[in-house]
Amino acid sequence: MPLIECIPNVSEGRRVEVIEAIAAAVRAAGAALLDVSRDAAHHRSVLTFAGEPDVVRRAVMAMFAAAMPAIDLRTHAGVHPRMGAIDVVPLVPLAGASLDDCAALARTIGADVAERFHLPVFLYEAAASAIHRRPLEHVRRGQFEGLADKLRQPEWQPDFGPAVPHPTAGATIIGARKPLIAFNVNLATDRLDVAKAVARAVRQSSGGLPCVKALGLPLADRGIVQVSMNLTDFRATSMADAFRAVAAEAAHHGVAVLESELIGLVPAEALASAGAAALALPRFKPEMLLEVQILSKSSGQGA
């Protein structure tokens, strides 16, 4: 059977007990839970789990059942954009799986989620039903607060479920994509204008690096700012390339890099060209390598 990775982003990063309950639901459904990354400033957590398609489907349904009663977006505020309590559910092919397999599973899960939880569901990337729905940032634009207006537009009718937001959980975005690296670089300043300028300079949509998405965000609790990046193809733009570009652009503004961080797991190949020290990753551990977690769970360790 094919093996599929699922990396759901949950709009809760502060209540540990809520995230632990969601993680427990994933485990109970039989999926191999590989990682949980929680961020209070983003008010967001990223889970990584893997399994055969039907196991992943059961785990996603269990995750929604655990998360929806506990998360109310009407009182949720964080620096990361979000449209739903379970904001986005990416499916990534691993051993024996293809992107088409993941797209088909995304459609099955989307229909199930809409029917059971009465949620509007959008499909994105390889599972998208139209070209304008492929980029995640296009689907999420307007966030939870603008969702009702968005759903009234004919071009933004959901792929599944009602054309009105769920009152507390908003909507969800489910899709299939290639491996992605969530890589953040923190700057030694509190100037948000600098972080936004750096993000604009390095992201592909503004003429920067290929396969890089970037936002400038404040980390108010630490008194610093962050360039938050998604590297959608680390072979086109490596972590080292992205790090150097951010550092160089920040230096143009007289600002130094403080450190960087990974959210979730990273393929070992992505770190081959530069070590953790060169990327200013002080909290890197071998356990953050995707392959290490898969081998650990497949051998029964740490299950």
Active site residue ranges: 80
The single residue listed with the structure tokens 């989620």 is 113
H-helix segments, 68-191: 99-117, 136-140, 147-151
- Distance between CA atoms of residues 46 and 1, nearest Å: 25
Query: Which residue, 92, 105, 103, is CA-closest to 129?
Result: 103
Q: Give the amino acid at 157.
A: Q
Contact 78, 86 (CB under 8 A): no
Helix (H) or strand (E) segment spanning residue 212: strand 212-219
Query: Which residue, 292, 267, 269, 58, is CA-closest to 182?
Result: 267
For residue 133, give Cα distances in angstroms to 39, 111, 147, 164.
27, 17, 15, 18
- Distance between CA atoms of residues 123 and 110, nearest Å: 8
